Amino acid sequence: MTDLQTLFEAGNSEELVRIGTELFRDGEEAEAFEYYRAACKLGNTVAMGNLGFCYQTGRGVKADNRMAAYCFMRASELEDPGSMMKLGDFYYRGKGGLEKDAVRAFGYYLRAYEIAACAPEENTPLIADLCYRLATCKKEGKGTAQSFEDAYEYYQAVAETVSDDANYGDSHALSLLRKAELGMEECETHF
């Protein structure tokens, strides 16, 4: 009997996700996918989001945006903020068989932000990504009323959240910081 079978039969979804994540990091993406799928069958929210990421990116499985959207939707129903953000992205762009719907996208971004903000230490990168999406929606008036003041505040939150990581050379944080600074400058021209 394999570890996967043993853990699945024991209902140990957390260990399945942990092993799947290790395998994924080691480049064994197809095997990681199987661990995530087993944990997903046990109702593990993190596994559902990870499975969605695998389907979205084609890592460990053939890329399939419809399956990715399905996984993100299931995890969102269980209030996983990372999956809510991804599902919001799918609605924003009209991917995975979902109609383009900026209002629904904004709603998912906002709800994900509210959940992630309850545990900011655990969700710092996610909060920054969500604030950036909320700022963009507010600035452009997509899915919500246009408000340059609100957009500015969200961009400012992004900058505050990522500044330390950007100073330490984190490329994603640095990119977000630059985009947030440009967004703030643009918003200021409308004050």
pLDDT digits (tens, 9 = 90+) for 96-125: 999 999 999 999 999 999 999 998 888 899
Q: What angle do CA 144, 149, 155 make, to 5 degrees?
A: 85
Decide if 4 contacts 30 (C-beta within 8 A).
Answer: no
pTM above 0.85, yes or no: yes
d(CA 71, CA 182): 34
Q: Report how far residue 8's alpha carbon sits from residue 67's, in angstroms, rounded to the nearest whole number.
A: 22
Predicted local distance difference test score (pLDDT) of residue 121 = 85
* DSSP conformational letter for 170: -
CB 138 within 8 A of CB 147: yes
Using DSSP, state whether 72 is helix, strand or coil. helix
Residue 128 pLDDT > 60, yes or no? yes
Q: Residue 134: pLDDT above 60?
A: yes
Q: How far apart are CA 126 and CA 123, in angstroms?
A: 5
Amino acid at 138: K
Would the pLDDT of 1 be above 60?
no
Long-range CB contacts for residues 124-127, cutoff 8 Å, separation at least 24: 124/161, 125/162, 125/165, 125/172, 125/173, 126/81, 126/82, 126/85, 127/157, 127/161
- How long is the chain? 191
What's residue 186's pLDDT? 97
pLDDT given at position 123: 87
Domain spans of the chain, in order of start: 109-191
Strand ranges (E), 68-169: none
Strands (E), 142-186: none
